[in-house]
Structure 1
Amino acid sequence: MRNLLNNLYRLGGLLSALHLTAIMLLIVLQVLGRVLDKLLLWVGFNPLGLHLPGLAEISAFLLLGATFFGLAYTFWQGGHIRVTLIIQRLPLGLQRWLDSLMLLIAMAITGFALGFSVLLALDSYAYGDLSIGMVPVPLWIPQVGMSLGLLWLFIALTDALFSLLSGRITQLNTDAAQE
């Protein structure tokens, strides 16, 4: 089970990286197209008009995917910001209790966001909602990515809570990545 969860978190990190790579490639293609058009004008030819329509909207959707797919991986690797100035000075038992409480609160917030993002994706699908812009994208597509990312984060939070309560890890974000 541990390997399955770790692979799930890694998959989220990989999907996040692929989304960021796609953004980079689209922007590079757009810039190269503009440079080529300028060079053609400079040497006296007509520009080809190389332009990627809807690049801003598509990049925004890819950024949404990169952000949400990377949440669980970043959490499990200890990359999320935590204020440990006070908590690290407390006894280990109290630290575990506060970490457990914070995980429960994070699970509640993530579960709330997950529920509403799933409902939003279902509504967008049912009503055929499209993005406004040059390229109409069915809104349920990026919303499903958001929902999956929140689901993976919820799983990671639940995993961390059970790991903490079972004693498999003693502190959040320090022992979890070493499992």
Structure 2
Amino acid sequence: MRRFLDRTYDAALWLAALTLALIAVLVLVQILGRLADRAARALALPPPGVTVPSLAEFGAFLFAGAVFLGLAGTLQAGGHVRVKLLTGALPETPARWLAALVCLGGAALGAFATWSSALQALDSLRFGSVSYGTIPIPLVIPQAVMTLGLALLCVALLDAMATLLRGGRPAYATSEIETGGERE
């Protein structure tokens, strides 16, 4: 199960990276199109008119996908900001229980966000909601990606909680130690 979860978190991170790369490609195409138009005008030729319609919407949806798909993997890598004033001052056992409780609370909030996001995606699917740009994008697509990212974050938080309750060290704590973010 551990291997499956780790691969799932890694796959979500790769998808997040892919969406960021896709944003870069779309922006590059738009820039090159503008440069080609300017060069054509300078040479008194008709501009080719290469543009990416709805670039702002595509970019926004892809960026949201990158953020939400990256949540679980970033937690595993110890990349989220955590304030450890209280857990750092407590003895190991109470600190472990408090950290598990915080993970449970985070998972509960994440579950609520996942549920709300899923309801919104289902409504968009049912009503056929689309974006207002030049290219109408079914809103269920970015909303489903957001829901998936939130669900993976819930799983990662429950995973960390279970590891803490079994007496282990969650992946985020191991990553923090390896990068020098926490002392043992």
TM-score band (shorter)?
Answer: over 0.9
Gaps of 5+ in 1: none
Number of aligned residues: 177
| Rounded Cα–Cα distance in structure 1 between residues aligned with 2:107 and 2:42 | 58
Quote the residue 1:121 is aligned against. Answer: 121
Superposed, which structure 2 residues align to 1:25-174 within 5 Å? 25-169=25-169, 173-174=172-173
- Higher RCO (C-alpha under 8 Å, 6+ residues apart): 1
Q: What is the letter of the counterpart of residue 174 of structure 1?
A: A
Using the size of structure 2 for normalisation, the TM-score is: 0.91
Kept after mapping to 2: 8 A contact 1:160/1:176: no
CA–CA distance in structure 2, aligned partners of residues 32 and 26 of structure 1: 10
**TM-score, length-scaled by structure 1:** 0.94
Q: Structure 1 residue 88: deviation in Å?
A: 1.7
Task: Give the drift of 1:176.
Answer: 6.3
Question: Partners of 2:7 and 2:176 in 1: how far apart?
Answer: 12
Distance 2:84 2:37 in 1: 53
Query: Identity rate of aligned residues, in percent?
Result: 42
CA-atom RMSD, angstroms?
1.5
Q: Residues 172 and 76 of structure 1: is their aligned pair in 2 closer, same or farther, counting only changes over 3 Å?
A: closer
Detail structure 1 runs of 4+ shifted over 6 Å in the superposition.
Answer: none
CA contact (8 A) 2:97 2:164 kept: no
- CA deviation after TM superposition for structure 1 residue 168, in Å: 2.1
**Residue deviations 1:28-82, cap 9 Å, x none?**
1100110111111111111111111100001111011101110000001100011
Asked if the contact 1:164/1:172 (under 8 Å) is kept, the reply is: no
Question: Conserved in 2, the CA contact under 8 Å of 1:130 and 1:139?
Answer: yes
In 2, the alpha carbon distance for the partners of 1:111 and 1:86 equals 25
Contact 2:101/2:161 (8 A) holds in 1: no
One-letter identity of the residue aligned with 1:80: H
Partner of 2:9: 9
- Confirm or deny: 8 A CA contact 2:129 2:139 kept in the other structure: yes
Specify the alignment match of 2:181 in structure 1: none
